[in-house]
Amino acid sequence: MFLGSVIYDKRRSMHLTQTELAADVCTQNTISKIEKHNISPTVNILTKLCLKLELSLNDVFSDFSSNSTSEEESILDALEKDLLLDNTDDISEKLSMLHSKLSDVDLKQVNLIKGALEYNNADYDNSLFTLDKVLQLTKSDVYDIYTLLTYLYKGMNYMKQGHKDRAQYYFEMIESATKENLQIANANEIELIYICKSLAGAYIELKIFDKAWEYCIKGIELAKGKHTTYFVDSLNYYASESIENDESKSQEYRELRDAAYYFAKFTNDTKLLDKMV
């Protein structure tokens, strides 16, 4: 059944008009277009509609994924993107709505998101346990992006707990897989640039400045090649940090610092701006 038909049937069964369903979600015209199969809703609109209609995302998930346009993302991809961009406020609520059967590929992504959320909440033991589920599903294949993201979060997890040697072990696993290039078959640019940014930040903390510089440059070059500004503010900031004590690079340091500041202003990255005050 088409997504629009699911929404139409459920709305009618709850005796709601299109205007009533649209309230605080979107316009009545948007509801009309969705029900007529003229457009697919954004992830945020779809989530709000599901809540109002007492549907789970899984009730409409497969249809939404197969009928979305090339400009739209699957539910899980959108949740992962929010996670990496630190927009985590309602991810758990949305994730809990995907409660039916999921493929192994979906489960890799779901457990990665759950483990990362547990890490963000400083629930480190549960985070490591959940992340190990990802590795069971990927069979620790280092050419699977979910293996690399899991290694990254496990490394950052151990960093938070003060186990720097363990952290570095996982970071080196990522290094080995990306030594030649950053071409991972099932990865997108946000995931790859996020890995570069996070590794650079970790190596700054570990005072391994040459590796921090290496991943900053890799991330900046990848962002340029993909014509995106994801994490470019942090990459420029970490790059400047990695050469701060090199007097021969004082001009480059200032240029990188300025670039970090202006990109942070452009993206309204208040956390980074506060660091630079």
- pLDDT digits 0-9 by tens, 138-167: 999 998 999 999 999 999 999 999 999 999
Residue 187 reports pLDDT greater than 70: yes
The half-sphere exposure of 265 on its side-chain side, counting CA atoms within 13 A, is: 7
Res. 179 pLDDT band, cuts 50 70 90: confident
| Host domain of residue 32 | 3-72
- Give DSSP secondary structure letters for 29-60: HHHHHHHTTS----HHHHHHHHHHHT--HHHH
Residue 69 reports pLDDT greater than 50: no
Segments in the chain forming alpha helices (H): 3-13, 18-22, 28-35, 43-53, 57-67, 75-84, 91-96, 104-120, 124-138, 145-160, 164-178, 189-205, 209-226, 232-242, 250-267, 270-275
Position 101 scores a pLDDT of 61
- pLDDT digits 0-9 by tens, 31-63: 998 888 888 777 678 778 888 998 876 666 544
Position 71 scores a pLDDT of 33
Q: Is residue 169 part of a domain?
A: no
CA nearest to 221, candidates 208, 211, 231: 231
Q: Is residue 31 part of a domain?
A: yes
Q: Is residue 175 part of a domain?
A: no
CA 45/CA 199 separation, integer angstroms: 34
User: What's the structural domain count of the chain?
Assistant: 2
Q: Is residue 112 part of a domain?
A: no
Position 181 scores a pLDDT of 76
Q: Is residue 225 part of a domain?
A: yes
CA 176/CA 184 separation, integer angstroms: 13
CA 146/CA 134 separation, integer angstroms: 7
Residue 96 reports pLDDT greater than 70: yes
- Give DSSP secondary structure letters for 96-136: HT--S---HHHHHHHHHHHHHHHHHTT-HHHHHHHHHHHHH
Domain end, chosen from 12, 42, 72, is at 72
Residue 188 reports pLDDT greater than 50: yes
Q: Is residue 220 part of a domain?
A: yes
Sign, CA dihedral 268-271-274-276, equals negative
**DSSP code, position 181:** -
Res. 16 pLDDT band, cuts 50 70 90: very high
Domain end, chosen from 43, 72, 101, is at 72
Structure tokens, 59: 């009730």
- pLDDT digits 0-9 by tens, 237-259: 999 999 999 999 999 999 999 99
Position 227 scores a pLDDT of 86
Chain center to CA of 168: 22
Position 59 scores a pLDDT of 65
CATH number for the domain harbouring residue 48? 1.10.260.40
With tokens 């899991």, the residue in question is 150
How many residues would you count in the chain? 277
Q: Is residue 90 part of a domain?
A: no
Q: Is residue 35 part of a domain?
A: yes
Position 100 scores a pLDDT of 58
Amino acid at 197: K
Chain center to CA of 45: 19
Domain end, chosen from 17, 40, 72, is at 72
Res. 2 pLDDT band, cuts 50 70 90: low
CA 200/CA 215 separation, integer angstroms: 6
Position 51 scores a pLDDT of 84
To 5 degrees, how large is the angle CA 174–CA 241–CA 227?
65
Residue 271 reports pLDDT greater than 70: yes
Residue 112 reports pLDDT greater than 50: yes
Q: Each residue of 68-83: b (16+ CB within 10 Å) or e?
A: beeebebbbebbbbbb
Position 60 scores a pLDDT of 64
